[in-house]
Amino acid sequence: MKTLATPLDGLLILEPTIFGDERGFFFESFNEVTFKAATSLSSITFVQDNHSKSSKGVLRGLHYQTAPHAQGKLIRVVKGEIWDVAVDIRDGSPTRGQWFGVLLSSENKKQVWLPPGFAHGFVTLSDSAEVLYKATNFYNPDHERCFAWNDPTLAIDWQLFRLREVLPQLSAKDKLGATFK
């Protein structure tokens, strides 16, 4: 596995080693020993796996959970293509309020590791996309929060030009996202 650092401390892009031939491909999507070595984490426990399917133009996020229910997430795409975004919301972090985006797809097989303390969202760029993610803490609706996708302080480039649409499709809950400030 190849590990790529991002400008946000702790946020990593993981590129698995792919074994392929005319029959198809194989790769380990998760191996605890390899993951710990790649991330320099001595202990990590994933307690929940999630699977979402979204149509083109659907934007999910920016979601996070507050302590003590904050979640780390290992994210990958098994069908289609998304623009995946993470925002550092850690108190005291020198990159607090900064975001990073990366194209994740079933073709490139990249994964993103978001440690606890990051808000997460994505927009579906292909006709549909299926996203899998492992979480280090259980979903807790009492601690769930959401920032507005179009918050002017964050000024995220959602790559909407790829959609040829002006506004993404949002859930009722995501339409009520708070401002970052």
Domain boundaries, the chain: 2-176
Q: Is 133 an annotated catalytic residue?
A: yes
Q: Which residues of the chain register pLDDT less than 50?
A: none
- The active-site residue out of 51, 69, 120, 133 is 133
Q: Where are the beta strands (DSSP E) in 12-127?
A: 12-15, 19-21, 24-26, 48-55, 59-65, 73-79, 81-88, 99-105, 111-114, 118-124
- The pLDDT value given to residue 39: 87
Determine the pLDDT at residue 166. Answer: 66
Which tens digit of pLDDT belongs to each residue from 106-154?
Answer: 999 999 999 999 999 999 999 999 999 999 999 999 999 999 999 999 9
* Amino acid (one-letter) located at 54: S
51, 63, 120, 139: which one is catalytic? 63
Catalytic residue flag (residue 143): no
Q: How far apart are CA 50 and CA 130, in angstroms?
A: 10
Give the pair of three-digit tokens for residue 9. Answer: 């401390």
- Quick one: pLDDT at residue 92? 96
Beta carbons within 8 Å of 57's beta carbon, 6+ residues apart: 123, 124, 163, 165, 168, 169
| CATH classification (class only), 2-176 | mainly beta
